[in-house]
């Protein structure tokens, strides 16, 4: 049985490109199978560089690919709809910071996670703040060591790497 996590990246902009780099560095454990962006040329460019097939939306990617984890790199305030769609499809989700811009939209993610029973984590360098810890409250602890063991300049990449740690630690048999 394959233990490689299949990842769909949604939003191939500035930070999505960074995620693509990190995913490519974890290629023995994580496979980028889809890159979705409403600007299809961005999806095509990133997919050509880092792997996976380009799609104009998460909906299209979900219809075409076997996906375990969806990484949400859409603009701030546009995370909930993508995260909720992924959760409703039964996927694990990594959301770029900030999770959302209102409590109501953040609650939509939390409710969808509780219903799906899959994992959600939020990329944040400020995970020790109690509010942040509780805001989505699933597995942000995986990031904490990134705050101390990384030299200046590489923190962003390391924090992104840490986001994938919970999925690496999960045994596939626990989930399926």
Q: Which residues bind ligand NAD (CB under 6 A)?
A: 10-16, 36-39, 42, 57, 73-76, 78, 82, 96-97
* Least distance CB 120 / ligand NAD (angstroms): 15
* Least distance CB 54 / ligand NAD (angstroms): 11
**Nearer CB in complex with ligand NAD: 2/131:** 131
* Least distance CB 87 / ligand NAD (angstroms): 15
* Least distance CB 73 / ligand NAD (angstroms): 5
Tokens of 79: 């995370």
Is the N-terminal amide bond of 98 cis, ω within 30° of 0?
yes
**Nearer CB in complex with ligand NAD: 6/97:** 97
* Least distance CB 97 / ligand NAD (angstroms): 5
Which of 112, 110, 65 is CA-nearest to residue 85?
Answer: 112
β-pairing, 5-10 vs 30-36, is parallel
**Nearer CB in complex with ligand NAD: 55/167:** 55
φ and ψ at residue 26, rounded to 5 degrees: -110, 30
**Nearer CB in complex with ligand NAD: 10/139:** 10
The CB-nearest residue to ligand NAD is 13
Q: Residue 99: in which H helix or E strand, if any?
A: none
| Cβ-contact 113, 89 below 8 angstroms | no
**Nearer CB in complex with ligand NAD: 154/169:** 154
Distance of alpha carbon 158 from alpha carbon 149, whole angstroms: 9
Question: Which neighbouring-strand residues pair with 55?
Answer: 36
């Amino acid at each position: 049985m394959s233990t490689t996590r299949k990842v769909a990246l949604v939003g191939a902009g500035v930070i999505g490109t960074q995620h693509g780099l990190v995913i490519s560095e974890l290629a023995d454990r994580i496979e980028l199978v889809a890159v979705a962006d409403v600007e299809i040329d961005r999806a095509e460019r990133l997919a050509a560089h880092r792997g996976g097939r380009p799609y104009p939306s998460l909906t299209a990617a979900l219809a075409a690919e076997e996906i375990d984890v969806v990484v949400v790199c859409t603009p701030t305030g546009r995370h909930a709809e993508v995260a909720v769609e992924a959760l409703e499809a039964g996927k694990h989700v990594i959301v770029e910071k900030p999770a959302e811009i209102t409590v109501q939209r953040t609650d939509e993610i939390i409710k969808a996670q509780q219903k799906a029973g899959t994992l959600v984590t939020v990329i944040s360098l400020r995970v020790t703040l109690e509010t942040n810890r509780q805001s989505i409250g699933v597995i942000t602890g995986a990031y904490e060591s990134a705050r101390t063991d990384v030299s200046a300049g590489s923190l962003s990449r390391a924090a992104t790497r840490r986001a994938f740690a919970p999925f690496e630690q999960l045994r596939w048999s626990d989930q399926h």
